[in-house]
Structure 1
Amino acid sequence: MVDNASDRSEKLSALEKVWGDRYKILQQLSKRNGRQTLLAQDLQTQQHVVIKLLALSRDFDWQDLKLFEREAQTLKTLSHPAIPRYLDYLDINTPTYKGFALVQSYIEGRSLEEHLRAGRTFDETEVKQIAASLLEILIYLHDQSPPVIHRDIKPSNVLLTNRSGNHAGQVYLVDFGSVQNLAAKEGGTITVVGTYGYMPPEQFGGRAVPASDLYSLGATLIFLVTGHHPTELLEDGLQIQFRQAAHLSPNFTDWLEWMTEPSLNRRLPSTVEALEALKTDQSRPKLKPAEPSHTSQITKSLPHSNIVLHKTPDVFEILVPPQGIGFLSLSLLSLVTPLWACWIPLHWYGSLSLSQQDVYLEILCLAIALSGGLAIALYNALFGKIRLRIDRQSVFFIYETLHFKRVKRWGAYQAIARDIPVTTYLKPSSKSLYTARKPHLLLRLEKTQYKFGWGVRTSAEVEWLAGELRSWLKMRDEADSPNSPSFNP
C-alpha cells in the first residue's frame, strides 16, 4: 500500500510541473500505450491547451512517431473553427520523461459518446444537424491539396457544445492521430489505423479514400440513433443492420445505409454529394441491370454446417458463429459440480479440525478457479464468433464476443500462395489426442503458414471453403489483370 501511495505521489508531482517553461500541467485526460493527453495552462496567454504526449518507452514504435509527426504537420496546415489549432511542438528530455509533445487548442465540450452515457438522446432533426456540420468539416478537409482523410471518425472524436433550443449544438472534430493525406505513396508497410466497427472494409487493408470518412461518419450517426456501437448490431454480410433499432424516416434511413455501404462502388462518392443528398432527401440511384453481378453480396452455407460464407468481388469472409456448449464446457462442469457438492455448509465449518478445514479450503479454492474457467468457456461458447476476412489488401483473423474484439492481420492479400489453401490434416500423435485428424485450411503467406480450423468439423466443410476461396482468388486475379475491363491499378 505504501508503494502504491508513493507511485501516485510521484505521478501527481509530475503533472504539476511546467513544461517548456510555458505549459503548466493541470490534469491527465487520458493514457494508453505510451501516449498521454494532458490539460495544461499556457502561462503566456493564460489559456487552456491540450498536450498530446508520445513517450520513448519500451513499447515505442517508429510507426507511432510517424503518425504523431503527421498529425502535427497536418494541424499546422489547417485553419477551421471546428478543428483544434496547432500551437507548439516540443522535444522533451527530462530525468523522468523522454518523448514528444504536440500542443493544440483546447475545446471544452463533451463527446457524443459522453452525451449518450449521460442519458442525452438525439432526435432525427438533431442527428441531421450534426451530420451536416460534420460533412462541412469533411468538405474542408477533403478540399485540401492533397486531400486530408481523418480515418478515425467515431463518437469519442466528435465534441458537441452550446446546445440551445432546437439546435443540437456546435460540432467539433478532434484527434487527428490517424490522419492520412493522399500524397502518401501506396505500397511498403501497411498501417491499419482506425476503430473497429467504424472502419470501412477498404481501411482494413490500409487503404483510405475520402469516401472512407463517409462510412465512419455514417457509423457514428448510427450509434447516435440506436445507442449501440456498430459492433453490437447485427450484420447482413458486411452491411450494418440498424433499421429495427432506430425510429427514423425512410429517406434518412436510406441515406445512412448509402453512407455505410461496404462496397466503395455503391457508397456515396464525396462529401459534397453526401451533404446535397442529406439536404434534399435525395434517393439512391437504382443499380443498372448489369451492375449487381459486379457488386452484389453472396452469402453461402453448406448443408448440416453452421459456417457461413460471405463474398463480394472485393471481400471474402468466413464466419464461424458461436459454437454452443461443447466438450470443454461439459468437462469443466463435470469437475466443478462434485467439488461444490463436497463443500459443507458454513455453520459446520467451525466443528472441523484444522487439517480438515485446510482440505476443504483447498477444495473451495479449486472449485472457484474451475468455476471461473467454466464461466469463461461458456461465455466464449455462447457469444464468441470467428471471422477469416480477406480483402484486396490483407488477410485478417477476427475474434469477437459481445464486449470484446481482437483483430490480427496475418499478411498481405498479394502474398497468398495460389496453390494453397488445400485440405490438410494434423497427423495423429500419440502425445496428444488434440492433434488427431483435425481438418483445417492452410494459408501460406510469404514465409509463414496459418492454419484455420475454427468451427470446422468435417473434411467436407474444409473442401467447400477451400474451393470457394480458390474460386474467389482466381476471380480477383482476373479482375486485376491489365487485360480486364475492370482493371484499376
Structure 2
Amino acid sequence: MTSKILAERYQVQRQLGKQTGRQTLLARDLQTQKLVVIKQLFLGSDFEWQDLKLFEREAETLKALDHPAIPRYLDYLEIDEPDSKGFALVQTYVEGKTLEEHLRSGRTFSESDVKELAKALLEILSYLHEQNPPVIHRDIKPSNILLHSRSGHSVGQVYLVDFGSVQNQAAKFGGTITVVGTYGYMAPEQFGGRSVPASDLYGLGATLIYLVTGLHPTELPQQDLRIQFADRVTHINSNLIDWLQWMTEPSLNKRLSSAGESLRLLKNPRQIDKIPRAVQPPGSDIKLIKNSDFIEIVIPPQGISLGLIALLAPPTLYARNISTLASIPMNSWIYKLAITVKFLIIKISGTYVCVVGVVFLFALFRELRLRIDRQKISYGSHLLGLRWNHSKPAPRQDICQLEFRTTVKSQDRSSKAFEVIVQAGDQKYRLHGNRLHGLSESEIEWLATELSQWLGVKIKRTSTDKIDEW
C-alpha cells in the first residue's frame, strides 16, 4: 500500500478509513511534498449512481468553498487500473483527532470548552449557509469534527470535514429523495428527505449533547422525539441546557432557524431560570403564558363600568320626552314639528342603541392578545371566535426595542398614562395603561419586566408631557 502511487503523483502513506465501495487514504503529493487526503469511490458490483452523484457534489462543493476550517479541494481523478476503477477526490490534509476519538480516549469537555466548540462550529455553519445557494452539510456529528493544536485553556483549532452528504438548497428540488445523515444526529425532517440550514443546527446540538453527557443521542431516552438529557448534566448551566434543547427541537417551527441567531443566543442567553420571575400585581386578571417556545399576554374583557351604564341614559330621556306629544293638538305646527323630531330621534336612537350594543359586546367579551414566539410577534383582538390583528405580524428577529413610556397630561400633572411598547422594525405593538384598557401602572411594569426577561432585551424608560395617542 505504501509504495503505491496514484496518477503518478500521490504516494499512498496509509489507509484512514474504509467502507463498502469506498476508502480514504493519506498520501503525499510528490510535487509539493505535502500530505493530502484522497477519498476513493469504486465502480464495483455494489455501486449505485446516487453514490456517484453525492461524490461529485462533494467535489464541486469543496471547489467553491474557501474557509480555513474546511478542507480545500485540490484535485479530482478518474481511476482506471486493472484491479480497480472509479473516481478520487484529493483534498488538503487536516491534522488532528475527531471529537469521537477524543471522547473514546477519555477526554472530557468543560462547559467553556463546549461553548468554544459551539461558537467555532456556528461560525463555520454561518459561512456555509450564507453561500448562494446555501450549503447544508447534513451530517454534523462527532466523527466529522476535528480538533488540533490544543493549548492552555483553548479547546484547539476546530475543523469540519467530510462533505460527502452535502446538499445545496438548489439541489433539493430534484426528482429523487435522498435520506442522508447519521441516526441520532439527523433532524426529523431529514428522514423525509428534506434538509434546511436548521437541520445542521440539530446535528450540532446533538453532538454537543454527546459531549456533555458522554452518551450518543441514541443512548439517551426520548419523549415526543425530544432528547432527554437535562437530568444527566447537573454541572452545566441551565441557560446552556435551554439552548441545547432549543437547538434540538424536533419541530422546525420551534427550533432555532439560523446559525447567526444560535450564536447570538449562545452569547446572550435568555435568563428565564436565573432571573426571579416578576410578581403579578394583586387583583390583576391578566393571563400570562410563558415557556421556552413563546410568551403570550391575554388582557381580559374590560367589563361593565359606570361610564358604560351612563351611555344608556340618552335613549331613556328621549322616550320620556316623546311621551308628552299626547297633550299637543294634532293640527298645530308644533305637533307636526314634534312628529318630525320624534322620527329623527327614533332613527338616531336606533343607531345609538346599536353603537352602545357593540361597545357593551366589546366590554363583555373582547380579549386582547400579544404573542411572541420564535418566528413572529402578533397583537390582536379575540371576540366570540372572531380574530383580527391591530398590527401586521412581524418577524421575531426584527424586535429591536422594549420601551416603558410614561405620559403626563400638561394641564394636570397628576394625570398619567402608561404603556409598554415592543418595537419590531417599523412596527410598534402597544399595551396601554389608560382609560381604554384600564391597566394599572403596576400591571404595565410587570408586563414590561416579563417581556424583558423572555426576550433578553433591556427596558428603555421614557417620559413625555403631552397626550396625543390616547
CA shift for structure 1 position 287: 4.7
The alpha-carbon deviation at position 94 of structure 1 amounts to 0.6
- Write 1 or 2 for the structure with the bigger share of strand: 2
Cα offsets for 1:243-266 (capped at 9, x unmatched): 122231000000000000000000
Other structure's SS at 1:44 match: coil
8 A contact 2:198–2:252 mirrored in 1? yes
Spell out, residue by residue over 1:255-308, the C-alpha distance to the aligned partner (whole angstroms, 9 max, x if none): 00000000000000110000000011235552548999x99xxxxxxxxxxxxx
- Aligned position for 1:193: 180
- In the alignment, residue 3 of structure 2 is paired with which amino acid? E
**Residue 32 of structure 1 aligns with which residue?**
19
Matched position secondary structure for 2:46? coil
1-structure distance, mates of 2:250, 2:174: 23
1:164 is displaced (CA, Å) by 1.1
What letter corresponds to residue 215 of structure 1 in structure 2? Y
Distance 1:76 1:291, change over 3 A: farther
The letter for the 2-side match of 1:170 is Q
Equivalent of 2:29 in 19, 36, 42: 42
1:331-350 matched pairs, under 5 angstroms: none
> What CA deviation, in whole Å up to 9, does each residue of 1:149-207 have, x standing for no partner?
00000000000111111111110000000000011142522110000000000000110
Matching residue of 1:286: 294
In structure 1, what is the equivalent of residue 137 of structure 2? 150
State the match for 1:22 in structure 2. Answer: 9
Match of 1:77 among 31, 45, 64: 64
**2:265 corresponding residue in structure 1:** 277
Q: Which residue, 249, 252, 256 being the options, matches 2:237?
A: 249
TM-score by length of 2: 0.58
Please name the residue that 1:417 is paired with: none
Question: Any residues of structure 2 matched to 1:321-470 within 5 Å, and which?
Answer: none
Match of 1:106 in 2: 93
Using the alignment, how far apart are the partners of 1:220 and 1:114 within structure 2? Answer: 13
2:161 is matched with: 174
2:145–2:159 Cα contact (<8 Å) kept: yes
- 8 Å CA contact 2:172–2:194 kept in 1: the answer is no
Q: Which has the larger radius of gyration?
A: 2
Which residue number in structure 2 is paired with residue 240 of structure 1?
A: 227
Q: Show the 5 A alignment for 1:125-136.
A: 125-136=112-123
Q: How many percent identity over aligned positions?
A: 66
Name the SS for the 2:171 alignment partner.
coil
Which residue of structure 1 lines up, in the alignment, with residue 198 of structure 2? 211
Deviation, 1:17, is 1.0
The change in CA–CA distance for 1:232 and 1:95 in structure 2 (over 3 A counts) is: same
Query: Alignment partner of 2:28: what SS?
Result: strand
The Cα RMSD (Å) is 1.9
C-alpha distance in structure 2 between counterparts of 1:151 and 1:242, whole Å: 23
Amino acid at match of 1:127: V
Q: Alpha carbons of 1:39 and 1:187: their partners in 2 closer, same or farther (altered >3 Å)?
A: closer
Residue identity opposite 1:60 in structure 2: F
Amino acid paired to 2:251: S
- Give the structure 2 partner of residue 353 of structure 1: none
1:91-147 CA-to-partner distances (Å, cap 9, x unmatched) read 010111100000000001000010001110000000000000000000000010000
How many residues in Structure 1 have an aligned counterpart in Structure 2?
281
Deviations 1:337-375 (A, max 9, x none): xxxxxxxxxxxxxxxxxxxxxxxxxxxxxxxxxxxxxxx
Gaps of 5+ in 2: 272-291, 298-368, 375-470
> 1:33: Cα distance to partner?
1.3
1:258 is aligned to 2:266? no
Name the residue aligned to 1:223.
210
CA distance in 1, matches of 2:114, 2:251: 24
Question: What code does the residue aligned with 1:85 have?
Answer: R
Aligned equivalents of 2:56, 2:172: Cα separation in 1: 17
Task: Letter of the 1:92 partner, please give it.
Answer: I
CA contact (8 A) 2:122 2:259 kept: yes
In the TM superposition, what is the alpha-carbon distance from 1:45 to its structure 2 partner? 0.3
User: Does the 8 Å contact 2:254/2:293 carry over to 1?
Assistant: no
Match of 2:44 in 1: 57
**Which amino acid in structure 2 is aligned with residue 280 of structure 1?**
N
Please state whether the residue corresponding to 1:216 is helix, strand or coil: helix
Query: Kindly tell me: are residues 287 and 209 of structure 1, through their superposed partners in 2, closer, same or farther at Cα, counting changes over 3 Å?
Result: farther
Secondary structure, counterpart of 1:199 in structure 2? coil
Cα gap change, 1:193 to 1:78, in 2 (>3 Å): same
Q: Distance in 2 between matches of 1:288 and 1:198?
A: 32
- Cα displacement (A) at 1:58: 0.5
1:160 to 118, 129, 147: 147
Quote the Cα distance in structure 1 between the aligned partners of 2:144 and 2:172.
Answer: 27
3-state SS of the aligned residue for 2:16?
strand
Q: Which moved more, 1:246-255 or 1:184-193?
A: 184-193
AA aligned opposite 1:53: Q
Instruction: Note closer, same or farther for the CA distance 1:123–1:100 as it changes in structure 2 (3 Å cut).
Output: same
Change over 3 Å in CA distance of 1:151–1:287 after alignment to 2:
farther
Unaligned ranges ≥5, structure 1: 1-11, 296-489
Pair 185,157 (structure 1): closer, same or farther in 2 beyond 3 Å: closer
Report the Cα distance in structure 2 between the residues aligned to 1:291 and 1:18, rounded to whole angstroms: 68
The amino acid across from 1:17 in the alignment is K
